[in-house]
Amino acid sequence: MIQLKDLDKYIESRFQRIFILKGLNLTINEGEFITLMGPSGAGKSSLLNILGLLDDDYAGEYSFGGKDIKSMKDKERSSLHKSEFGYIFQAYHLIDELTVYENIETPLLYRNVSSAERKSIIANLLDRFNMVAKKDLFPAQLSGGQQQLVGVARAIAGRPRVLLADEPTGNLHSGQAREIMEVFQELHKEGTTIIQATHARENADFGTRLINLIDGRIEKDEVIIQK
Amino acid sequence: MLKNYFKIALRNLTRNKLRAGIHILGLSIGISICFLIFNIVWYSHSFDKFHPGLEQIFRINTLSDYGPGESYPVSATPGPLGEVIQDEMTGVEQKGRLNTLYQPLVSVPSQNRVIGRSSEVTFADPGFFKIFPRIWLAGNPETALEKPESVVISQKSLEKYFSGTDPANALGMELIWVDADTIRAQVTGIVEDYTENSDFIFTDFISYSTIQTQEQREWYGLHSWGNVNSSSQLFVKTVPGMTLEEMNKSFEKIVAKNYDPNEDGKTSFFAEPISEMHFGQNYDDTTVSKVFLDGLTYVGLIILVLATLNFINLETAQAIGRAKEVGIRKTLGGRRPQLIFQFLIETYLIVIISTALSLGLVEILRTLFSDYLPKAFRLEYLTGVNLGFYFLFPLLLALISGIYPAIILSGYQPQRALKGEGVAQRGFSVGVFLRKNLTVIQFSSSIGFIILVLVLNYQIRYVSSQPLGFDKEAVMYTVLPFMSEPEKMVQLQERLIQDSRIQGASLSGSLATSTSLWTSDAYIPVDTTEKQIYIQVMNVDSAFLFVNGIPLLAGKGSSNKEDEILVNENFLKEAGIEDPEEAINLGIKFNGDEKKIIGVVGNFHSRTLREEIQPLVMTINPEYFQTISVKLEPGQNLSVVKTDLEKLYKEIYPYEEAEFKFLDEEVALFYAEDVKIRNVLGAACILAILISAMGLFGLSSFTIAQRTKEISIRKVLGASILQILGLISKEYVMLVLVSFGLAVYPAYYFLNDWLNGFTYKIEMPYFLFVLSGIGVMGICLIIVGLHSYSAARTNPAKVLKSE
């Protein structure tokens, strides 16, 4: 589904180019659950941003479903971005002024989903994550784990095929982290392609493939056998 | 979607109560002023717009040109033009003539009742009602004004003269107007009053043909081409398609035919579109000058711009706080136009709330400034125009003030904004540059306004504290009826003197100081020839000097003899006579007669201090006395005296309105226009300061909050609170200095111009300029200081820990 060929990302500084990603070749098939690991600054987040079409400042080739991203028009890219990708952040990044319900609703609004359909989608999600009682609370009134659950619910509300998660458990303690990972596993079983970046090795065990990045290169690419 | 936007906008507002309060209050002040000024301007443009065929109706004006600087336009025409215009000019479909009467006394003979004086009486020809058709309640519109001694009255007059009478029954009733002559006429028609705004205030239309004899024509000044009397009004309705230029061109023929080209003054006629009449001369002195309206509009716009700048300023400064939301929304699929729209909605909400609040403020403003509003002006909130204002203005304002912050905010790159680095400023940043400039603009206008107000006030106080050369205290005066019999005036004077509370009473043509002016030339013998002196003339009796406390330098006061005159010091100076005693018994020629100087008086200001004291001749001409002034004994209860004097006046002139006024109030009126300008500017000044201060308050609270980390680190490194205050204030001191530099020249330019209008004026008070700058600097430092002090007081450990 996703193919990267000779992908470079660099910053021009006064005397030299500083590479963040260098000569990256990567193929991701539909239904994979990939974990990106590596030390800080290895390029995990940068890779996720490029994959998620949030960053188009790179050299090399990126094709999604056989189509080259760079040759797409803005509108096409934007609709691809809306329909195919969901995002989860380390810092949750919920909109503080909106309630749980409204946060989950926001991506649906941008997708022009009808009001009745929105209601049913959100009701399902709230039900699934046991948050029906919390739907009118504001993010500040929730614990970190709960906020991240809202983040996940919001990310999958638009039924994306690819879920991108940048250190989704980085701010959570182990119990909460485990809960999120189990949700990921479930989504994966339903067919969602997941790409997560993490520092915690145990999170990789939930996935199917582990990629180690060091200094912008793929150091190791191994298959994880599910227990 | 829209609901979501409104919801988040509202929550954002309630979350930042202070910020929202500043935004809303600032904007609503701006909007309320705009609203009020908009309504005044609209009102002023609403006069006489309802007449059918408006574009083809003109009033004819006359211009007498005596060379550069001496051209006098009058909104009137010589009588003969009204007679011949339709014959000598093509394209005139209809002409209408008015000859207005100056305050005749109206009475109803059938009831033996005197109604009182009215300034709403005019002669009118049948054409007038053809150009300006009315709704007729009784009478024949075609013939009502044809015969002499007929009159058409409006419903308002009908109510006043024949209260409760049916219009049809009022036909044939007789009315009398006493001008200098007595005019009798029978009612031949009743028309409805205008409901729209109109400058045609007249309620009694006497048929023009009532002026029949040559004697009458001469009395009304309608007999010759050389006589232009402001009462004589001429209106024309042209054939469709005739332009103003074509009209003015065809007047040249008439001028060529009727005026001698070798005359001193060149006369020309020009047409004035009827819709412009309210800005020219009208019939109850309620015209507004377009200059004043423009000035008002500028003041309003400046205030609105200040408020808008505030908004843009604060909003862009707050941008960093919103960056995260932008990042999230973009990640979730929000596109830039959608985000721009969202921010505009938010702005719109603020503007809507401000507009609602401003309507309340308008009421306050209206009461505060009721003296400055047009007299008949009423504020109606639910007119079509105002509904349009409520709807369109917020949209426009939201767009203008919201678009820049919206574009800035929506431009953030999501992945950087979420990390909080997308808005880090390196080197030159448009945002910071703009923000500082906007602040500078606000400060400069505040400083400019303060300078103007202070200097205006300084000069006004200077002129009102100048010695005038006469004693204006405890002098009361009243206006005598037009062309009153001299015996009656003397009778009034004698009755007044009998009152023990009155020291003296004087009859005169004008007050010791007034806006009216009578000028002439005097010829005095110098050696063998005569020297011509341009003089001001006053018509006064013997008591005038005593009542007004004007000092006599030589000779004696007048003894009411027509061949004796008094002169002032400047007259002697002009004549080259050094010793006042030498002038006594000197004969001069003036007004065609030989007069003898019997006394010399000290100089006194008989005009405003804008003008120099002219050589003055005091003569006596009892027929043309128009005022009586009295000097009161000290220590009187003024309001009691006033009522008693008015009672006495009523005994002599039972049909007149009596009102005694104080001379010092009359003097103060000279500068009423200046005081008005000062007060309007003063209000603008207060608002400008208020808005700028609010803006600064919001801005500095924000920028200082941003620098908390820096402040904390400096504190850890050993900076004292004072050093930190200095550090933060430095930036603002620079801003104020730049603003001061920008404000000084425009203020100087305007003031210099204004001061040059006065002969007696202060030196340009530069210390007031400096004072204004220091004042604004003080306000600025207090506001910034409050914020930075609390920032400097916070415990650095707390701030740095959370980072």
Query: Tens of pLDDT along B205-215?
Result: 999 999 888 88
State whether residue A81 sits within 8 Å of chain B by CB. yes
The answer to whether A93 contacts B11, with C-beta atoms less than 8 Å apart, is no
State whether residue A141 sits within 8 Å of chain B by CB. no
Distance from CA of B16 to the nearest CA of A (A): 11
Same domain flag for B121 and B186 = yes
Rounded to whole angstroms, how far apart are CA atoms B712 and B173?
93
The nearest alpha carbon in chain B to A164 belongs to B331
Give the residue, B206 or B488, on which the prediction is more confident. Answer: B206
Give contacts of B 2-31 with A, CB under 8 A. 4, 7-8, 11-12, 15
Same domain flag for B690 and B574 = no
- Tens of pLDDT, residues B154-198: 999 999 999 888 998 989 999 999 877 789 999 999 999 998 888
Segment holding B530, helix H or strand E? strand B529-539
- Domain end position, chosen among B587, B608, B633: B633
Rounded to whole angstroms, how far apart are CA atoms A199 and A41?
12
- Tens of pLDDT, residues A113-139: 898 999 999 999 999 888 999 999 999
- The bridge status of strand A17-28 relative to strand A193-197 is unpaired
Preferred mutation among A78, A97, A105, A118 to probe B, highest tally of B CBs within 10 A: A97
Instruction: Taking residues B697-726, report their average pLDDT.
Output: 79
User: A75 burial class (0-12, 13-18, 19+ CB within 10 angstroms)?
Assistant: exposed
Asked which of A35-49, A78-92, B277-291, B476-490 is least confident by mean pLDDT, the reply is: B277-291
The nearest alpha carbon in chain A to B334 belongs to A110
Identify all chain A residues contacting B332, using CB atoms and an 8 Å cutoff. 87, 106-107, 110, 154
Residue pair B191/B135 in contact by the 8 Å Cβ criterion: yes
Buried b (16+ CB within 10 A) or exposed e, A181-214: bebbbebbeeebbbbbbbeeeebbebbbbbbbbe
Instruction: Taking residues B263-290, report their average pLDDT.
Output: 81
- Tens of pLDDT, residues B254-272: 888 888 877 767 888 999 9
Preferred mutation among A9, A51, A94, A98 to probe B, highest tally of B CBs within 10 A: A98
- For helices B290-317 and B17-44, the axis angle rounded to 10 degrees is 160
Give the residue, B611 or B570, on which the prediction is more confident. Answer: B570
- Tens of pLDDT, residues B370-404: 877 777 788 888 888 888 888 899 999 899 888 88
State whether residue B422 sits within 8 Å of chain A by CB. no
The CB-side HSE value for A108 (13 A sphere, CA atoms) comes to: 22
Taking alpha carbons only, the member of A198, A195, A197 closest to residue A208 is: A195
- For B590, which DSSP code? E
pLDDT of residue B774: 92
- Tens of pLDDT, residues B588-630: 888 778 888 889 999 998 888 888 888 899 988 888 888 999 9
What is the DSSP secondary-structure string of chain A?
-EEEEEEEEEEE-SSSEEEEEEEEEEEE-TT-EEEEE-STTSSHHHHHHHHTTS----EEEEEETTEESTTS-HHHHHHHHHHHEEEE-TT----TTS-HHHHHHHHHHHTT--HHHHHHHHHHHHHHTT-GGGTTS-GGGS-HHHHHHHHHHHHHHT--SEEEEESTTTTS-HHHHHHHHHHHHHHHHTT-EEEEE-S-HHHHTTSSEEEEEETTEEEEEEEPPP-
Residue pair B505/B493 in contact by the 8 Å Cβ criterion: yes
Instruction: For residue B335, give the nearest of A45, A78, A107 by CB distance.
Output: A78
Instruction: Taking residues A78-105, report their average pLDDT.
Output: 87
- A33-54+83-223 homologous superfamily: P-loop containing nucleotide triphosphate hydrolases (3.40.50.300)
Identify all chain A residues contacting B333, using CB atoms and an 8 Å cutoff. 78, 81-82, 107, 110-111, 158
Instruction: For residue B333, give the nearest of A49, A55, A110 by CB distance.
Output: A110
Residue pair B673/B289 in contact by the 8 Å Cβ criterion: no
pLDDT of residue B430: 66
Same domain flag for B548 and B502 = yes
Rounded to whole angstroms, how far apart are CA atoms A24 and A215?
11
Residue pair A201/A169 in contact by the 8 Å Cβ criterion: no
Phi, psi (5° rounding) for residue B781? -65, -35
Rounded to whole angstroms, how far apart are CA atoms B2 and B8?
10
Task: Establish if B282 belongs to a structural domain.
Answer: no
Residue type, B422: G
pLDDT level of residue A150 (50, 70, 90 thresholds):
very high
Nearby residues of A48 by Cβ (< 8 Å), 6 or more positions away: A36, A164, A166, A195, A197
Same domain flag for B414 and B519 = no
Same domain flag for B443 and B497 = no
Give the residue, B71 or A47, on which the prediction is more confident. Answer: A47
pLDDT of residue B431: 66
Alpha helices per DSSP H over B578-720: 580-583, 638-652, 663-669, 672-706, 708-716
pLDDT of residue A134: 92
Buried b (16+ CB within 10 A) or exposed e, B136-157: bbbbebeebbeeeebbbbbeeb
The answer to whether B325 contacts A106, with C-beta atoms less than 8 Å apart, is no
Instruction: Taking residues B660-667, report their average pLDDT.
Output: 86
Residue type, A80: L
Instruction: Taking residues A134-146, report their average pLDDT.
Output: 91
pLDDT of residue B428: 55
The answer to whether B330 contacts A52, with C-beta atoms less than 8 Å apart, is no
Identify all chain B residues contacting A163, using CB atoms and an 8 Å cutoff. none
Residue B580 has which token pair?
Answer: 């006042």
Buried b (16+ CB within 10 A) or exposed e, B668-686: eebbeebbebbbbbbbbbe
Phi, psi (5° rounding) for residue B17? -65, -40
pLDDT of residue B422: 47
Identify all chain B residues contacting A102, using CB atoms and an 8 Å cutoff. 4, 7
The nearest alpha carbon in chain A to B335 belongs to A78
CB atoms inside a 10 Å sphere around CB A91: 17
Residue B195 has which token pair?
Answer: 């409901």
Q: C-alpha distances in angstroms, A167 versus A42, A171, A198, B777?
A: 14, 8, 5, 51
Same domain flag for B553 and B673 = no
Same domain flag for B600 and B519 = yes
Q: Which residue shows structure tokens 């609709």?
A: A79
Q: Report CA Rg, chain A.
A: 18
Task: Establish if B79 belongs to a structural domain.
Answer: yes
Q: Which residue shows structure tokens 């007449």?
A: B51
The answer to whether B333 contacts A111, with C-beta atoms less than 8 Å apart, is yes
The nearest alpha carbon in chain A to B13 belongs to A97
Nearby residues of B420 by Cβ (< 8 Å), 6 or more positions away: B323, B324
pLDDT level of residue B10 (50, 70, 90 thresholds):
confident
Is a pLDDT exceeding 50 seen at residue B802?
no
Phi, psi (5° rounding) for residue B492? -60, -45
Instruction: For residue A107, give the nearest of B7, B333, B413 by CB distance.
Output: B333
The alpha carbon of B503 is separated from its chain's Cα centroid by a whole number of angstroms, namely 38
Task: Establish if B605 belongs to a structural domain.
Answer: yes
pLDDT of residue B42: 87
- Tens of pLDDT, residues A96-107: 888 999 899 888
pLDDT of residue B129: 92
- For B288, which DSSP code? -
Same domain flag for B15 and B131 = no
Taking alpha carbons only, the member of B534, B675, B513 closest to residue B609 is: B513
Task: Establish if B210 belongs to a structural domain.
Answer: yes
Rounded to whole angstroms, how far apart are CA atoms B729 and B714?
15
Segment holding B244, helix H or strand E? helix B244-258
Is a pLDDT exceeding 90 seen at residue B8?
no
The answer to whether B333 contacts A82, with C-beta atoms less than 8 Å apart, is yes
- Which of helix, strand or coil describes residue B411? coil
What is the DSSP secondary-structure string of B597-620?
EEEEE----SS-TTSPPPPEEEE-
State whether residue A54 sits within 8 Å of chain B by CB. yes
Give the residue, B562 or B748, on which the prediction is more confident. Answer: B748
The nearest alpha carbon in chain A to B15 belongs to A97
pLDDT of residue B192: 93
What is the DSSP secondary-structure string of B45-74?
TTTT--STTGGGEEEEEEEEE-STT-EEEE
pTM exceeds cut of 0.80: no
Nearby residues of B160 by Cβ (< 8 Å), 6 or more positions away: B115
Domain count, chain B: 4
What is the DSSP secondary-structure string of B459-510?
HHHHHHHS--SS--TTEEEEEPPTT--HHHHHHHHHHHHHSTTEEEEEEESS
Residue pair A122/A71 in contact by the 8 Å Cβ criterion: no
Ramachandran sector of residue A114 (left: φ over 0; alpha: ψ -120 to 50; beta: rest):
beta
- Tens of pLDDT, residues B90-138: 888 899 999 998 888 899 988 888 888 888 999 999 999 999 999 999 9
Same domain flag for B310 and B420 = yes
Instruction: For residue A93, give the nearest of B324, B335, B413 by CB distance.
Output: B324
Instruction: For residue B338, give the nearest of A87, A102, A110 by CB distance.
Output: A110
Residue B421 has which token pair?
Answer: 């680095």
**Alpha-carbon torsion (B304, B305, B307, B312), positive or negative:** positive
pLDDT of residue B659: 85
Instruction: Taking residues B348-375, report their average pLDDT.
Output: 86
Rounded to whole angstroms, how far apart are CA atoms B105 and B454?
47
Same domain flag for B732 and B629 = no
pLDDT level of residue B426 (50, 70, 90 thresholds):
very low
The nearest alpha carbon in chain B to A112 belongs to B1
State whether residue A11 sits within 8 Å of chain B by CB. no
Taking alpha carbons only, the member of B152, B133, B155 closest to residue B144 is: B152
Same domain flag for B488 and B627 = yes
Same domain flag for B571 and B533 = yes
pLDDT level of residue B58 (50, 70, 90 thresholds):
very high
Is a pLDDT exceeding 50 seen at residue A173?
yes
Is a pLDDT exceeding 80 seen at residue A79?
yes
Domain ranges (residues) in chain A: 33-54+83-223
Phi, psi (5° rounding) for residue B24? -70, -45
pLDDT level of residue B429 (50, 70, 90 thresholds):
low
Task: Establish if B521 belongs to a structural domain.
Answer: yes
Task: Establish if B479 belongs to a structural domain.
Answer: yes
The answer to whether A87 contacts B11, with C-beta atoms less than 8 Å apart, is no
pLDDT of residue B369: 80
pLDDT of residue B191: 93
Range of the domain at B707: 434-464+669-803
How many residue pairs from chains A and B have C-beta atoms closer than 8 A? 57
Residue B211 has which token pair?
Answer: 């002026």
